[in-house]
Amino acid sequence: MSISMIGIDHNMAPVDIRAKFAFTKKNAGEAMEKIKNQNGIYGCVILSTCNRLEVWASVDDEVDVCLYDCLCRIKGITEDSYRKYFVERKDQEAVEHLFYLTSGLKSQIIGEDQILTQVKDALNLARENFAADGVLEVLFRMAATAGKRIKTEVPFSHGNPSVIHQAIGFLAEKGYSLRDKICMVIGNGEMGKVAAQALQEAGADVTVTIRQYRSGVVNIPLGCKRINYGDRMEYMPQCDLVVSATASPNFTLKEELFQGIRTKDDLILIDLAVPRDIEPSVGKIQGVTLYDMDSFRIEEVPAELQENLEAAGAIVRE
């Protein structure tokens, strides 16, 4: 038996390519079942986040298994041009990659915390769909243990590791202050809540959209206001900045929705979803600046993080 994985991430492919292979929670569960039922595959775990898609499998050494082909069949993709965006790892190389990944050392923002939860959630989803086997169970549990130890023993020096904090820092470097700005966050999942909290901490007036059929049971960060999702365009003219961070397969903001609406002359839109929440053509509307997940990438690791990275790497190797 061997451990095999294929993956695509923010380093290898732009957001629109990653979006073609992204899964919702429901679709990921169905896909894992299908992959596990393939000849020569004993177990499967799919990790799908805004920055990456990885398919993990324990496979029979005697059977020629191609995870890329399995993935493309599930996604209905027939062209082979996307293969160049994927990397394949096996056995020890794959194991080391997962340990580094779970520790936040391969994230768009080094040391971010969300990936550890996402890896554990991926394993739990595989369990729920009877897709994980004993090998992947042990592997993912050990990776989570390494990640927790690194979070405890290695104090990464930057304060708030998330994409929205990076976006806020990016805007601040351009001289844009969020103090007293009117902001709307579309989406009340984990990323939406983090975004709302971060914007509020930066001094903004924050309103969160809530789907009407869930408005009585959801929680939003303390101090934020709420409106129904269906009222988002009515509120848009008041906004200085809008963040969209949902798991919807459809656009939350389309170009046609802006017709007849007078927005502020310097409206900033930030799309934190994969697949995209905001139709790209919206960014061409006069007075609108649109950023996506790839707009805030840091190409080089800051020098002050290098020592921490080496310490984390020692734990992974151990």
pLDDT in tens, 236-285: 999 999 999 998 888 999 999 999 899 999 999 999 988 899 999 999 99
* Bond preceding residue 275 cis, omega within 30 of 0: yes
Q: Residue 157 above 50 pLDDT?
A: no
Residue with tokens 């768009």: 108
Q: Tokens for 267?
A: 């409206």
User: How many Å apart are CA 126 and CA 142, to the nearest integer?
Assistant: 16
CATH number at residue 28: 3.30.460.30
- 31: Cα separation from own chain's centroid: 19
143 plus 19 within the same structural domain: yes
User: How many Å apart are CA 216 and CA 213, to the nearest integer?
Assistant: 8
Q: Are 199 and 172 in contact (CB under 8 A)?
A: no
131 plus 205 within the same structural domain: no
126 plus 172 within the same structural domain: no
pLDDT of res. 158 = 46
Confidence of residue 119 (pLDDT cuts 50, 70, 90): very high
Phi, psi of 212 (to 5 degrees): -60, -40
73 plus 209 within the same structural domain: no
Any domain includes 318? no
**Percentage of the chain surpassing pLDDT 70?**
90
Q: Which of 162, 232, 173 has the alpha carbon at shortest distance from 198?
A: 162
Torsion angle, CA of 13/19/24/30, rounded to 10 degrees?
A: -80
42 plus 110 within the same structural domain: yes
128 plus 181 within the same structural domain: no
Any domain includes 77? yes
172 plus 146 within the same structural domain: no
Q: Which of 203, 274, 265 has the alpha carbon at shortest distance from 239?
A: 265
Element (H, E) at 124: helix 114-128
Tell me the three-class secondary structure of 54-120, residue by residue. EEEEEECCCCCCCHHHHHHHHHCCCCCCCHHHCEEEEHHHHHHHHHHHHCCCCCCCCCCCHHHHHHH
Any domain includes 132? yes
Range with top average pLDDT, 103-107, 204-208, 217-221, 259-263: 204-208
User: How many Å apart are CA 76 and CA 96, to the nearest integer?
Assistant: 31
More confident residue, 180 or 306: 180
Element (H, E) at 95: helix 91-102
225 plus 286 within the same structural domain: yes
Confidence of residue 305 (pLDDT cuts 50, 70, 90): low
Q: Which residue among the candidates 44, 50, 183, 239 is catalytic per the annotation?
A: 50
Task: Tell which of 131, 153, 175 closes a domain.
Answer: 153
Mean model confidence pLDDT for the chain: 88
pLDDT per residue over 4-62, tens digit each?
A: 999 999 888 999 999 999 998 889 999 999 999 999 999 999 999 888 999 999 999 88
pLDDT of res. 217 = 62
| 66 counts as catalytic | no
105 plus 132 within the same structural domain: yes
pLDDT of res. 180 = 95
Question: Mean pLDDT over residues 288-294, rounded?
Answer: 92
pLDDT of res. 125 = 95
Residue 130 is part of which domain span?
2-153
Any domain includes 57? yes
41 plus 128 within the same structural domain: yes
Q: Which residues contact 74 (CB under 8 A, 6 or more apart)?
A: 31, 34, 35
**CA angle centred on 174, ends 171 and 177, rounded to 5°:** 55
- Among 4-18, 89-103, 134-148, 210-224, where is mean pLDDT lowest? 210-224
Range with top average pLDDT, 31-40, 105-114, 158-167: 31-40
CATH number at residue 227: 3.40.50.720
Total domains in the chain come to: 2
Please state, in angstroms and as integers, the Cα–Cα distance from residue 284 to each residue in 147, 265, 275, 288, following that order.
Answer: 41, 13, 19, 7
More confident residue, 5 or 164: 5
pLDDT of res. 214 = 53
**Percentage of the chain surpassing pLDDT 90?**
63
Question: Mean pLDDT over residues 126-136, rounded?
Answer: 95
